[in-house]
A and B are shown apart, each in its own frame.
Chain A
Amino acid sequence: MSRAKALLVSAATLVFARRRRPTLKPGERERIVVPEAPAGYDAELVAIWLFLASAACAIGFVVVYALDRLPAHTQLLGLALGLSLAFLAAGLVVMAKRLVPNEELEEDYPEQEHTAEQERIAQVVEESGLTRRRLLLGALGAAGGSLGLALLAPAASLGPAIHMARFYLTPWRRGTRLVDEQNRPLRADEIEEKNFYTAFAEGADKERLPSSLVVVRLRRDQLDLPPGNAGFDADGIVAYSKICTHAGCAIALYRAPLFEPTDPKPALVCPCHYSTFDPSSGGTVTFGPAGRKLTMLPLEIDPKGFLRARGNFDEPVGPSWWGVRLKGPTT
């Protein structure tokens, strides 16, 4: 141990001390770095050990990487690399604090401004004569501006920016069956109270916002649909768009009261910003930031007992934009 230490010190002294010795005889030239580098042999030794530890950890990283069978691979890799960098940082800090000359210098801030140069620039521009040719500059500006606009025009190809018809489009029409995530048609008698079902338009792309529904069954005495949604339920089963009208997340929470009347009324809640909708009254907002009621789909039960749409939604689906109230959904 002590031999190794002695070796290291002598090696380091050889390397560093030789560098530090000025090549010219003292007195021949003034030093630029005024304070001499501190001798700091102890600090030097500490730094050397830290750098060696850093190297060891870096090699450890490669070893861990190469050994497939180690458990907790990510943790060991992170530890090895992190420690290697940490030792490197520590060594560099020892270097900065103890081994390099500790200079604190003064310097004048740069000039605030160069008045003469400013004047000369203005003069050159003026003497070019261009600034007097207003019309010419105006025309040049018009060319530049128009060209800029022209080059921006192809950006309109990115998407249908003018025609917003697709935003009103839904896959629902009278008779569309409700299916579950496995495309199995939903039967009215499998919809239970205090439960929450996700349904889709049969044959539609499930990822499109208007395709998905939340379906719940309420007791008849709970139902209080406004005139606009009268008859939208099928035997107490109501269906709403699953997409929150606030910020487009899926309504994923159903608060079915367990202890009436202590608990609040049934509510459909979006987990993003907690917009809360009342399924018994046509999807009105009872709390949270949503600015429109939840979109409702009229239902019916076909002779075989399957749930079907009895028409389209009462309003466009999903988050609001300037045109969301201008017209109803289309098929």
Chain B
Amino acid sequence: MIRGIVRFLDERTGSAPFLRKTLRYLFPDHWSFLLGEVALYAFVVLVATGIYLTLFYEDSTATVIYHGGYAPLQGHEMTHAYRSVLDLSTNVKAGLLIRQTHHWAANVFVAAIVLHMLRIFFTGAYRKPRELTYWIGLTMLIVSLLEGYLGYSLADDLLSGMGLAIGYSVAMSIPFIGGNLASLIWDGPFPGSHAFFPRMYIVHVLVIPLLLATLLTVHLVLVALKHHTQFRGERESERKLVGVPTFPGQAPRSLGLLAATAAVLFLLGGLVQINPIWLWGPFHTYSATNGAQPDWYLGWLIGALRIVPGFDLTIGSYTLVPNPFWGGALLPLAFFGFLYLWPFIERSFLTHDYGYHNLLDRPRDAPWRTAIGMAVLTEVFLVFLAGSADRVDVFFGLPYVPQVWAYRVLVFVGPVIAALLGYGACVELQRGERVDRERKRAERLARGEA
């Protein structure tokens, strides 16, 4: 039976040698290698649940008077877009489960990518020959942030409308071309023409998913071509890879992880409420709600937008840099620009190491990388925390204004402290290991003499 199937395939595709190699491809056995897989499986759940959602969503911003089952909004004027999401959430069997699972999956997807990237960064996995894999992964992270933002904007509830207004303002703030660009995207001033939501929709459900799927494929092919990296061990070396083969060892583990990821996402989707759009109500440009927070992965941007002091950079009556540019565009540009350039920066200025690496560093093995990584991470985390200062005010009574001033100072001081701590910790750990090795050698010598 098995031989029959294999022969059938091989005779028609000639793929037996390839399949055999694939079955025996080796996966290093370390938990941190599963983070990327979690992202992949969250993506699978996103595509599956997302397709279901498209069967109910309407992308029109023409308005209707609501006469559905949700009493508090009876008689309210709202867009078809908002009503379709409301109906899906309140009227369609399993609709809310799928919608909430989709939303949770987006949050977990980005979280898994970020954790995966931290592992890649702090272990130096991006070094030659894997720079392309790294850059493609980074691109996927950026595209995913945009994808998530577009996704929750489609609901056209009050919260997402405020998010769109902010996105519009950041687009407007780009020097020289911002106004024109925003006018192009929204087809005129905010909230734009009836064409805007269909545009957002097609980008969210077709353009970006296709792009992500393509990048994902190239990412995985590149990983497979150069094989996985691994941590140094007794048998592991730059030339020898040690691991568990795809089949029979890795396949059930990996499928188990797929099932586990999906299990967590559906449990969250069913049991933990997320984005209850019926409570926010429909969006109007003249309405806003207090305590608005975006999904977690955009928290750093709202924090940055909030702590920048209030000024536009002007030359005469020409506005060179409107304020939202600093926090909403320059910060992410600088952050991602740094990450793209990092492999060059490290090898040109820090290590002068142009060699070929299959073995991973531990963070302590590269104190400079760890220090700089900690500084950047701390910066982003502080800005992220700044985005929650208003909630801290409400829940803990810490006044908002002094908090903002504290963050304005901390974003300069914090990274320096983090870098010093990181560097110090690495050096200490290295010294500890050295002492340990010497002690052991001394003990061996002592035993030998005895």
Contacts and interface: CB of A to CB of B under 8 A. Distances in A.
B162 A209 contact: no
Interface string A81-121: 11111101111110110001111111111101000000000
B180 A161 contact: yes
A321 B96 contact: no
Contacts of A77: 94, 97, 270
B309 A289 contact: yes
Interface string B159-172: 00010011011101
Interface in B247-276: 248-250, 252-253, 255-260, 262-264, 266-271
A167 B285 contact: no
Contacts of A141: none
Contacts of A112: 129, 356
A92 B252 contact: yes
Interface string A287-331: 111111000000000000000000000000011111111100000
* Chain A interface size, under 10 / 10 to 19 / 20 to 34 / 35 or more: 35 or more
B322 A243 contact: no
Nearest to B175: A322
Contacts of A208: 189, 285
Interface stretch (B50-58, B235-243, B436-444): B235-243
Contacts of B323: 246, 289-291, 320
B244 interface: yes
A84 B180 CA distance: 51
A79 B271 contact: yes
Nearest to B172: A321
Interface stretch (A188-196, A227-235, A266-274): A266-274
A185 interface: no
Contacts of B101: 78
A41 interface: no
Interface stretch (B133-141, B212-220, B286-294): B286-294
Given A106-B240, A321-B172, A289 B310 contact: yes
Interface in B27-43: 29
Contacts of B286: 198, 200, 206-207, 211-212, 242-243, 250
A243 B263 CA distance: 43
A250 B287 contact: yes
A78 B189 contact: no
Given A85-B262, A271-B291, A272-B162, A289 B242 contact: no
A260 B169 CA distance: 36
A22 B162 CA distance: 66
B162 A82 contact: no
Contacts of B288: 249-252, 270-272
Nearest to B256: A92
A291 B305 contact: no
A292 B173 CA distance: 13
B48 to A, nearest CB: 12
Contact of A246 (B175, B285, B291, B324): B324
Interface stretch (A6-14, A126-134, A152-160): A152-160
B317 A326 contact: yes
Nearest to A199: B286
A89 B179 contact: no
B12 interface: no
B278 interface: no
Nearest to B272: A78
Nearest to A162: B180
Contacts of A198: 286
Interface string A187-224: 00000000000101000001111011000000000000
B90 to A, nearest CB: 10
A74 B263 contact: no
Interface in A30-74: 33, 37, 65, 68, 73-74
A161 B238 contact: no
A249 B319 contact: no
A98 B421 CA distance: 43
A197 to B, nearest CB: 12
Contacts of B260: 85-86, 89, 93
Contacts of B317: 325-326
Given A65-B94, A112-B356, A248-B190, A324 B322 contact: yes
B240 A321 contact: no
B205 to A, nearest CB: 19
B370 interface: no
A237 interface: no
Given A250-B285, A325-B317, A287 B182 contact: no
A17 interface: no
A82 B169 contact: no
A85 B189 CA distance: 47
A168 to B, nearest CB: 10
Nearest to A100: B248
A247 interface: yes
A253 interface: yes
A289 B356 CA distance: 47
Contacts of A291: 310-312, 322-323
A75 interface: yes
A176 interface: no
A13 B255 CA distance: 23
B297 interface: no
Interface in A132-167: 155-156, 158-162, 164, 166-167
Nearest to B401: A287
16 contacts: A73-B93, A81-B266, A85-B266, A92-B256, A93-B252, A103-B248, A108-B239, A161-B181, A246-B323, A248-B190, A272-B165, A273-B302, A285-B310, A319-B322, A321-B179, A324-B322
Given A160-B187, A249-B166, A272-B305, 4 more contacts: A73-B94, A161-B180, A247-B170, A252-B289
Pairs of residues from A and B, 5 with the lowest C-beta to C-beta distance, nearest first:
A78-B270, A291-B312, A92-B256, A82-B267, A321-B179
Interface of B: 24, 26, 29, 93-94, 96-97, 100-101, 129, 162, 165-166, 168-170, 172-173, 175-176, 178-193, 195, 199, 225-227, 235, 238-245, 248-250, 252-253, 255-260, 262-264, 266-271, 284-292, 302, 305-312, 314, 317-320, 322-324, 327-328, 356, 358, 390, 400-401, 404
Interface of A: 33, 37, 65, 68, 73-79, 81-86, 88-93, 95-96, 100-110, 112, 155-156, 158-162, 164, 166-167, 198, 200, 206-209, 211-212, 242-243, 246-253, 270-275, 285, 287-292, 318-326
